[in-house]
Structure 1
Amino acid sequence: MSNHALDSNCITLTRHVLAEQKKCPTATGDLTQLLNSLQTAVKVVSYAVRKAGITQLFGTVGETNVQGEEFPKKTTTSSKYTSNKMLVSEENDNIIEVETERQGKYIVCFDPLDGSSNIDCLVSIGSIFAIFKKDEDEPPSIKHEPPSIKHALQSGANVVAAGYALYGAQL
């Protein structure tokens, strides 16, 4: 048994996000909720990648993404877990529109399983995302339109948050 005490005062992602939210008096909690949803999706994808046996990890599902790459089995699984919260995915030709009553003020662009074409090489894979705030100064011509790719085409200077979750390939 180790004589090292467990550090119960560690900084988790949730704890960090909540602390940052407290610093902003105008915060509504919407970004915090979105980041917590992303964290949950990442945990589910991580679990699926970790639990995949070698027979499930390799192979394709017979479909191709918008870049013409064949979908590895894990990509379709990860997209299923993250699509219900997002708007623009590298794996989809069209946007993924959130139901009107659940739409918020953020646009999430993501690749649910970055590096998935290298799964058979047993290299690391991950999920990558960028969050933009729906532009309040949009031209009136698109401001009241349903979400479209036009809303996501913003400068990188407008990124509110971004991240990359790294998953290690296992046998």
Structure 2
Amino acid sequence: MGSSKDSASVTNISVEEHFSVSQSSPGGQFVGPTEEISTAAEALIGRSTTLTEALKAASMNVGHKPVETTDVAAIKEVETRAIGGDIESEGGVTAVASKAVARNQKIGKDNEKTNLGDVIAEIDVKVTRDREVTSEDAEAVIRAELNHSPFNNIIPGGVAESVAAAYKLNHDPSSL
């Protein structure tokens, strides 16, 4: 899936240092203290902090919004990392999300579009393997979401932020 901003590429991501993200394009930065991920972190507290649990947290946070190409990129990265390899082209969550985006582009009313929660609702059936979120996972998902964002930002409470929150909980629960 191509980026709508081909000139934007992530050059540095540090989940460890307050989710500092730098991009080569002007204005393409997300630098936020840990407090900015509190919504995503709160959704994960009491849950296992695996890749699919992070997707479920995103669904809890922003599941009402129509699924977009930015979401597909982040979901693809999560799904690939969760199963440890190539994802199914037809039956995976990424495929469902891609079809939803194509459908949504043909629909004018937001309330009739397929939302992120609808797509992620199938995660337990579609992704049969899972594992704990690592810093590399969080960095890759943030990079995927940023590289496909028309505004060079991540969605507050969305997939990338939820994966980063899951990593932070795994790494140091007291930091949240």
TM-score (norm: length of structure 1): 0.27
Please identify which structure carries the higher helix content. 2
| Greater relative contact order (Cα < 8 A, sep 6+) | 2
